[in-house]
Structures are given as C-alpha cells and as structure tokens.
Structure 1
Amino acid sequence: MAKETIIRKKRLGRILTDNALTRYITFSALYIAQGIPEGITFFAIPAWLAMNGKSAMEIAAYVGVVGIPWSFKIVIAPLIDRFTLLAMGRKRPWVIFGQLGLIISFLCIGLIPDPLNNLSALMVAGFFISFFGAFQDVATDGMAVDVIPENEQARANGLMWGAKTIGISASLLIGTWLINTFGFPTAISSLSIAVATIMLFPIYFKERPGEKTMPWTAGAVSPDSKQTQLRSWKHIFKCLYKVLRLKSSLVFGLGVFAVGLMFGLIDTLLPIFSIQELGWTNSYFSNVFSITTVIGGFLGMFIGGYLVDYFGKIKMLSLYLFFLTLLIAVFASLSNLWGNNLIVYAFILSYYTLYTFLCIAVFASAMHLCWKTVAATQFTLYMALSNMGRAAGAAMLGVLKTNFTWEIVFLIIAAMPVIMIILIQLINFKKHRVTVDSFVILKQTVVAPPVLKD
C-alpha cells in the first residue's frame, strides 16, 4: 500500500501539497499568466507609444500609473489572508478571481477609441489590468509559500520566474506583431484567450486533499487549512507585526525597494532609449527584447535556483547585484559604441539574464523570511516595496531624462543595486528562521483553533 502511494505521488496528480510535479507545472503556468499583462502594459504599449512619437514624460506617466496597483498589493494581501472560500483552499479562490478579472480587463482595453490620443483612458484600462494582475500575483505567491516545501523553494522559484520571463517576452513579441498587423483593439483583446486558457490550471488543481473544486461541487475544508487560517484582523496584524519587526525583515524590505528603483528605471528606459535614441522600430525592439529575455528566462529556470541552493542566498544576491552594477556602469561609459547593435544586444541580454537570476534569489529569500500564518501578506509586503520602487523609478525617468544625458541616467541607475549589496550583509537567514519557527509553535498552541476529529 505504501509503495502504491509513493508511485502515485511521483505521477502528476490534482493535489498541490502531495505532488512536486503538480506544483512545478501549476505555478509555472500561473507565472506565465503574470507575465502576459506585464509584457503588454510595461513593454509593448510603451514601445508602441514611443514608435508613435509620444514623449518620455508621457510614456513615463503611463507606466507610473499602470505600476500603481502593484503597490496596492499590501492592501490586497490581508484581505486574501483574512477572507476565502476555505473549502476550496486558502488562496486558490483568489487566484481564479484574479484570472477572471484579467480576462475582462483585456477585453475592455480593446474598446478604447483612438488610444494614441486618449492616454487618460489607456492609463485607466492599464490600471485595471494591473489591479487584477496584482490579485492573481498575491494569491499565487501566498499559495506558493503555503504548499511549496522549503527544500523546493529555490528550484520552484527558478521555474516560476523563468516562466514569467517567458510570458513577458512572448506577450511582448506576439502583442507587438498583433498591434502592427491587426491594430491595437484586436491585438490587446485577443490576449484574453491566453489568460483564459491558463485559468484552467487553478480550476482543475486543488491545494489539499478533499477540498472542493468549485463552490457547488463536493468537498470539505482541509484540517490543515482550518488550523492555519486566521479569522480576525487583530491576529493578522499582530502576527504580521511580530515577524516584520525582526531585523532581517526590515533590512530586506529596504533592499528590495532600492533594487525596485533600478527595475522601474531600466524597464521604462529601454523602449524609449532604443526607439528614440537608437532609431529602432517597436517591432525591432520587441524582437530583441523577447529573444534576450527568453534566453535569460531559460537559464534562470534550469540553473538559477540551483545556484541559490548550492552557494547560498546572501552570496548569490551579492554577486548578482555586483555584476548588475558593473554592467550598467560599463554600458554608460561606452556611449560612443551605442550605435553598434551588438553592444546593445549584449547589454540587454546580460541585464535580463542577471535580472532573472536576481529575482529568483530575491523570491527564494522572501519566501524563507515568511511566516506561513501570514504568508500572503508578508511576502506581498516585500513585493509591494519592490513594486513601489518600480513605480517610483518609472516616474523618475521623465525627470532624470529632462535634466541629464543618457550616460548620467545610466550611472544613477547603477547606484541602486549598491544600496542593496550593503543592506543584505546585515541579514541572518538562519537566525531569522529559528525565530519564526518559534512563532509557529506559539501560534499553534495559543491562537489556532483545535482540529476537529470525526
């Protein structure tokens, strides 16, 4: 009987907590779904706007507004931790809700008349795509922290972040081709088909044995979910405060905000820089970006998590940040060679490969710092700080470019990862984990309701 159970768990099953292959496939698919709205809103549309003569200030304003909902994740996360249809799982109902909202939002953005001359409406529509994307993101991350064992976190994050990078690249490449071939409304609305297809994953797979697939199907609340779920705002914020006041949590939060500034500046800069400074077309940019980021994504999927597991989080975070600083600073000093496309290709490929590896290390580190009781809220706080940095960086670009040359802008960006290099040396993951594990024991003996027995 035990042998049959082991064989069954090696095969693909429907239960995330029971099967590693199920976890890897499901979370990879959900991260592809996260990449689709980002590829369109943060890259394809800005490149299309730049191609049609919009200024850096206008494009930066659009990206800044679209980035705002990702900072709302810290408001969304406590709702997800506090309320759920527990019989369907702690986070899965919210994943489905986010996917449904994305489908509707993509359909709606295609209805905007003359979007090039109606940037306000484009910003509003992009805002709602990001809003529902944030719901899906928070729920997916919270579910990942809940069901992925600690020894799989780095490997899983490699697959997940690589899948997201591929989703961004594919949506940018396909979205740009559709925009140029069929026009903006048809192109953007058609992407809802891809999101709807991926929605089948959270509908089919379940978090724990015995749970309902949908509200009207058979099933019951899992005892594990019942024990972990908090049912009062007081307990949620008390637990959150308890874990966030630890030194490693505070330092890590400051570090991810600093590196988020770099992400936001580079992501907003590249379409404008390549199209308006180098003379590329939006199709050319999307092709270069997609090819280089897919390469980075595949490398991240297959070796990014392994490197973090083998060498350790602090060491790899420090190395990735150091090489990013060096890469951006060197590129800034080579302005006389920017006309050589190979130099620009090498920069974009190197940056997005390091970016993917860094994100894998950051995600694995954030998961390691989380207390499962408030996993969605705590993990989301780290990601919200990063996204606040992204939004601030996007908004900063217009001001920086108005007052400085491209060379100076790149050098300013190179300073951002240095801040995180300094901060992460103050983090002690082992000491933090021991402290958090003691919180779990306290939570289970004092706060948790008893598990009901038959």
Structure 2
Amino acid sequence: MSNPIPSLSQNTFLRYFNFIALYVAQGIPEGMAFFGIPAWMAMNGKTPGEIGSFVAAVGLPWSFKMIVAPLMDRFTYLPMGRRRPWVLFGQFGLMLSFIAMSFVPDPLNNLNLFMAAGFMVGLFGSIQDVATDGMAIDIIPIHQQAKANGFMWGSKIIGTSVSLAIGSSLLNAYGFSAAILMLSILVCLIMLVPLFLREREGERLLPFTKGEASHETKRMQLTSWSVIFRSLYRVCSLRNSLLFGMIVFITQGSFNYIDTLIPIFTIQALGWTDQAYSQFYATATLIGGIGGMIIGGALIDRYGKIRMLNIYCLLLVTLISMLVFLKIYWLESWFISAFMVIYQVLYVFSTIGIFAIAMQCCWKKVSASQFTLYMTIANIGRIVGAKVIGPIKENFNWEYTLLFFGLMILFAWFIMQFLRIPVHVKKIADLEENDNPVQMPAIT
C-alpha cells in the first residue's frame, strides 16, 4: 500500500520544504547564540573578550563536523533512510540542548556553565547540519542544487533574523529563561517535518514501523574506512581544493569577525540598546535572506560563481571602507542600518556562491565528507574570527578594528584569482575514471 505523503525523492516541493524547515531550525538557536545573546551580554557590560569567548564556545563544535561526517558515511540505519536517522538525532538533540540552555542559572555571572550550554547547542546544531547537507547531496538532483542552496541559506538567514527580533524582545520583556524556552517551541515544531517525511518510497518512518531500505541507498552506502579516507585525501590534496580551503577559512572568519563585532560596536561605541540593535539587524538579515532565496542562486547560475564572488568581495571592501571613512555619520541610525542591510545582502549572496563552489568541488564518492571538510575549515575560521576581536580591539581604535574586516576579504579575493574550477572538475573526472568501481562504489 502506498504512503499518503510522497517521499523526498519523489516530490520537488517537499524537498524544498524539508530543507527550508531544517535550515530555519538551525537559524533559530544560532540567531540568539551568535547575535542576540552577544548583544544582551554587551548591554550588561561584558567585555569583548568574554563575548568573543562565548561565541567561540558555540562555534567550536562546528569544527568537529569532520569527525561526524565519515561516521554518517559509514554508519546509518538504512531502513529509515541514509541520512534521515542522523537528521532526527541532530534535531532532537538541538531541541533538548536549546531548552537546557534556558535553565542555566544567572548566566551572566556563570559564564563557564553558560558557555558549556552554548557548546551543546552548537554540537547538536552541527550534527543536524552535516546530516542535512548529506541528505541534500543525496536527494536533490544536480540541476536543482543551486536553487536549493539559495532556499536553504535564505531560510537559515530568515530563521536567524526572526529569532533575533522575537528573542531580543522576549529577552527584555520576560528575561533570559522565558525567552529561550519560547523560542524552543519553534524548534520542537520543526521536528515534525523530518519525522513525517521519508527520503525514499518504502522506507520506515520509525524503527518499529513497516518499511525497508531502498536499493539505491544500499548501493550508495560505503562500508570501508580505507575507501572513505583514501578517496577524501586524493580529492582534497588537489591544488584547487587547497586554494578553496584557504578562501573558505578567510571569508568565513571575516564574516564571523564582523558579525560578532557589530553588536559590540553599536552598543558600546554608539550607545545603542541591545533591543535597538537586534531590531535593526533582524530587519537587515531578513532582507538578505529573502534576497538570497529569490535572486541569490539565479545570479550565480547566470553569470558564474567566480565572477559574482569577485564582485561581492570588492563591494564588501568598498562598504566597510565607507563605514570607516564616513565616521561623521556614525551617530545617524539610518547610516548604520543601511550598512547592515547592504552587508547582509552581500554576505548571503557571497555565502551562496561559496557553498555552490564547495558542492561543485566535491567528488560524488565522498561528497558528504568532503563538503563537511570544507564546512569544518569554514567554522574553524569563524572561531578564529571571533577570538581575534579582543586582541585587535585592545591595540587599535574602532576605525582600524572595523577596517581589518576589509583587509581579510581583500586577501580572500586575491587568492580567488588563482582558483580554476573547470580544471578541478576535470581532475575529479580523471580520478573517477581511473578508480576501481569494485573497491570504491560511486555515490550518484
């Protein structure tokens, strides 16, 4: 008897809906952990070093994704799908850890426990992220990946901005615990999406329900550690893989640097309240997210990934330079809010382009592990970006501290000029052609 709800492999709308929901679920806790809570901490007099340490604690587990990804490639419960059991595990843990964060007593004066709770939110968020990306690579047809990437990152930005706006209002009105608990309800509701949507027809919804593993997932599943790591090494040691890893590290470190710095700058240097910052920034991220969903992927498809990233990088350098050299307008809220909006649009468009390149650089055989390796490098960069704020601000004024972001982006743009994606794709094709199909079954 057929299932009343089509599987993800059968229905395009449900595919997009599933990944939009899962990325919104990531954005809700991240909006508070990376933006709302740092602004709240700044409002309550915490130092840039303390705030940066909290952000780094939340971001640290994301650097462990490279450990998780091979486990997902190697182990799973195929009757429920190749990636879906891991998606459910990550989403359930994210839900519980976010709830647990709300019960940290006096978090502003109990920073070690507060950072530990943030670490757990980051841990399960990273597990859900790896599983979701792996599911996307397995399920989404190649011709839909660019559009899906725009939807996924746009929805994450929207989830971040909405949670930031609502969470900051709740934080000021009802206090920390109530605010986090109320946002946790949304994360719980999203759990229903992967719970009722199968990857492929005939699979089980839960371990005790009827269903069986599909032929396709059995064929894709890797069973050898040596195959996984040998293939991963061969593709990641290619020249363009190494260059792209450097670009990912620098760009994502730059983005987290400015994302962590802006709430500190607006509150401690310009005298904004945390709620005013959150409202302005949430609006900016919402605009960026919607723009990414509507036209971000389309621009890349039409004009090319490298060309558009070159334009975005140069526009980001121009934007931060204008902020620095037009200091006379810093006290004008329209000027800072305009900066936030333009920055968010460029950030979302740049991220869509970078991650689209990451997908194109992956060898299908180990695409989940390779894509996760790129994301791990990105998140190590984000941790470094947050941690360098304290030392830089202690030694330089606000103008130079802000301008450092532009210098990092300019360095990434310089490296990008040596990236040759068509050459990389050709080398992957050569690896595939020379590979032993018996020892290394291809993932399609």
Whether the TM-score (by the shorter chain) exceeds 0.5 is yes
What CA distance in whole angstroms lies between the structure 2 residues aligned with 1:37 and 1:437?
A: 39
What CA distance in whole angstroms lies between the structure 2 residues aligned with 1:415 and 1:222?
A: 50
What's 1:130 paired with?
A: 122
Deviation string, structure 1 residues 374-419 (Cα, Å, up to 9, x no partner): 2221111111111111110100001111110110011111011122
Aligned residue among 217, 234, 247 for 2:209: 217
Name the SS of the counterpart of 2:388 in structure 1.
Answer: helix
- Note the C-alpha offset of 1:67: 1.2
Q: How does 1:283-362 map to 2 (within 5 A)?
A: 283-362=275-354
What CA distance in whole angstroms lies between the structure 2 residues aligned with 1:20 and 1:136?
A: 21
The letter for the 2-side match of 1:407 is E
Deviation beyond 3 Å, 4+ runs, structure 1 = 437-444, 448-451
The letter for the 2-side match of 1:38 is E
Relative to the length of structure 1, the TM-score reads 0.94
Q: Can you give the 5+ residue segments of structure 2 that lack an aligned partner in the other structure?
A: none
Q: How does 1:35-434 map to 2 (within 5 A)?
A: 35-434=27-426
2:19 aligned with 1:19: no
Deviation string, structure 1 residues 326-373 (Cα, Å, up to 9, x no partner): 111221111222111111011111101100001111111111111232
- Note the C-alpha offset of 1:204: 1.4
Percent identity (aligned): 49
What CA distance in whole angstroms lies between the structure 2 residues aligned with 1:390 and 1:195?
A: 24
Name the SS of the counterpart of 2:437 in structure 1.
Answer: helix
What CA distance in whole angstroms lies between the structure 1 residues aligned with 2:429 and 2:91?
A: 33
What CA distance in whole angstroms lies between the structure 1 residues aligned with 2:394 and 2:380?
A: 22
What CA distance in whole angstroms lies between the structure 2 residues aligned with 1:182 and 1:443?
A: 60
What CA distance in whole angstroms lies between the structure 2 residues aligned with 1:271 and 1:133?
A: 23
Tell whether the 8 Å contact from 2:365 to 2:440 is kept in structure 1 after alignment. Answer: no
- Note the C-alpha offset of 1:300: 0.8
The letter for the 1-side match of 2:363 is W
What CA distance in whole angstroms lies between the structure 1 residues aligned with 2:295 and 2:50?
A: 39
Tell whether the 8 Å contact from 2:361 to 2:421 is kept in structure 1 after alignment. Answer: yes
Relative to the length of structure 2, the TM-score reads 0.96
- Note the C-alpha offset of 1:449: 6.6
The letter for the 2-side match of 1:30 is L
Give the aligned length.
Answer: 441
What CA distance in whole angstroms lies between the structure 1 residues aligned with 2:115 and 2:166?
A: 21
Tell whether the 8 Å contact from 2:52 to 2:387 is kept in structure 1 after alignment. Answer: yes
Name the SS of the counterpart of 1:54 in structure 2.
Answer: coil
Deviation string, structure 1 residues 240-273 (Cα, Å, up to 9, x no partner): 1121112221111110001112112111101111
What CA distance in whole angstroms lies between the structure 2 residues aligned with 1:395 and 1:282?
A: 21
For the structure 1 residues 391 and 142, does the alpha-carbon distance in structure 2 shift closer, same or farther, using more than 3 Å as the test?
A: same
Tell whether the 8 Å contact from 1:271 to 1:285 is kept in structure 2 after alignment. Answer: yes
Tell whether the 8 Å contact from 1:91 to 1:139 is kept in structure 2 after alignment. Answer: yes
The letter for the 2-side match of 1:277 is A
Deviation string, structure 1 residues 5-64 (Cα, Å, up to 9, x no partner): xxx9xxx95322222212111111111011112101101111111111111111111111
